[in-house]
Amino acid sequence: MKRRQVLAAGAACCASLLARSAGAQAMHYAAPERFGRPDIASDEGGLWALMDREEKGLRRSPLVLRDEKLKNYVQDIACRLGSEHCPDIRVYLVRTPLFNASMAPNGMMQVWTGLLLRMENEAQLAAVLGHEIGHYLQRHSVERLRDIRSKSAFGQVLSLFGLIGAVGQIAVAASAYAYGREHEHEADRIGAVLMHRAGYDVAEAAKVWNNLLKEVRAREGKEPEQTAPLFASHPAPPERRDILGQIAAAMPGGSRGDDAYRRHVAAHLDEWLQDEVKRGQYAESLALISRQIGSGFAPGLMSYYRGEVYRLRAEPGDQDLALADYRLAAQMPDPPAVAFRGIGLICRQQGQNGEAVQGFRRYLELAPAAPDAAFIQSYLAELGS
């Protein structure tokens, strides 16, 4: 047996054991009392001071979303999960197109927009927030701090929460998972209990993990462990999904909050999808957007942006795939105007002049003040219309 298979077999055995015990103990969790500010001379006090400084910088960062309504929505979810710790949790939404959330020991919680784009409903968001609150309640970062000796490892602990602006690397997103295996399992379990107590469907927690795994696997020819360090150093995704599934079975019921979630993020979706497409990780974007179309989330806008991914990737056959998606978007109840422009541009190039004219006309009807309106008019003139 290859080493890899041996490891897999070992993991499967332990996973089922862990899953059983996880399911059984899942319901019992007593949160600690609210934390006071630690003595500045202590190691924990030093960590708080550093995080306070990070937070000061974060407050001024142009990357922080200034949408009070959306921020309050996420803050309310965190408060329902954190219960008596609510006054200590301060949510910041950060415009960065990667899957990441963290909560520092001083109460600063960051939620990145790449994560918000990947959630299908409120329960999934609650699963991630509950997990981070789990790390916070158990003070895992302080334990981690005391575990380590070297300065570079200390840097790793800091990197769990800081990193404003240091983006573009998947390793950065992975930092959210840089706790040890036992800490991750414990945070998963506590997160599930908090979700259940707040009235959410715990089964959505396993879906978050599974969805992320599918997306990373979409990168051709690579095992997820090679492209995303978070999969290498932490509980294997199938193991984690199975344990979360077991926990959910012990805590049935609860709501998903599809509509509430989609309503609250609707105004930002266009911007977040633009950010996602600009990453240039086409396989991942296709997996993500196709999944959201399948879940019925803003299918018009999502279909248009999937078309954009094909157009930008520009491999053989991609132009036709892009056109098919623009047409799909155009038939949805919420078609973005730009889908019709997309149809016009590709049909004009392919000599399908009738459909090109129709597309351009519809675009100008829906977006008469578009900055490229004059440009589109000139195409219409050229097409004799």
User: 211-270: which residues touch Zn ion (CB under 5 A)?
Assistant: none
The per-residue DSSP string of 176-235 comes to GG-S-HHHHHHHHHHHHHHHHHTTB-THHHHHHHHHHHHHHHTSTT--HHHH-HHHHSSS
CB of 102: closest distance to Zn ion in angstroms?
Answer: 9
Of the pair 190, 301, the CB lying nearest Zn ion is at 190
CB of 140: closest distance to Zn ion in angstroms?
Answer: 8
Two tokens, residue 237: 């995704």
Query: Which residues are 109's β-sheet partners?
Result: 91, 103
Residue carrying the six token digits 């003139």: 381
CB of 177: closest distance to Zn ion in angstroms?
Answer: 5
**Three-class HEC string of 261-297:** HHHHHHHHHHHHHHHHHHCCCHHHHHHHHHHHHHCCC
Distance between CA atoms of 372 and 256, rounded to whole angstroms?
41
Find the helix packing angle between 299-313 and 269-278, rounded to 10°: 20
How many angstroms separate the Cα of 350 from the Cα of each of 44, 73, 323, 355, 384? 64, 46, 11, 10, 16
CB of 263: closest distance to Zn ion in angstroms?
Answer: 28
Of the pair 105, 307, the CB lying nearest Zn ion is at 105
Of the pair 177, 297, the CB lying nearest Zn ion is at 177
Of the pair 19, 176, the CB lying nearest Zn ion is at 176
Applying CB under 5 A, what is the total number of residues that bind Zn ion?
2
Of the pair 184, 308, the CB lying nearest Zn ion is at 184
User: 158-197: which residues touch Zn ion (CB under 5 A)?
Assistant: 184, 187
Of the pair 29, 326, the CB lying nearest Zn ion is at 29
Query: Which residues are 92's β-sheet partners?
Result: 110
- Interaction mask 269-308, Zn ion, x per CB under 5 A: ----------------------------------------
Of the pair 94, 347, the CB lying nearest Zn ion is at 94
User: 336-365: which residues touch Zn ion (CB under 5 A)?
Assistant: none
CB of 176: closest distance to Zn ion in angstroms?
Answer: 6
Distance between CA atoms of 266 and 288, rounded to whole angstroms?
17
Burial classification of residue 210, based on how many CB atoms lie within 10 Å of its CB (0-12 exposed, 13-18 middle, 19 or more buried): middle
CB of 131: closest distance to Zn ion in angstroms?
Answer: 6
CB of 138: closest distance to Zn ion in angstroms?
Answer: 11
- Looking from the CA of 165 toward its CB, the CA atoms found within 13 Å total 8
Q: Which one-letter DSSP state was computed for residue 109? A: E
User: 132-161: which residues touch Zn ion (CB under 5 A)?
Assistant: none
Of the pair 184, 325, the CB lying nearest Zn ion is at 184
C-alpha angle 18/104/262, rounded to 5°?
Answer: 80
CB of 208: closest distance to Zn ion in angstroms?
Answer: 12
- Residue 85: other Cβ atoms inside 10 A: 19
Binding stretches for Zn ion (CB under 5 A): 184, 187
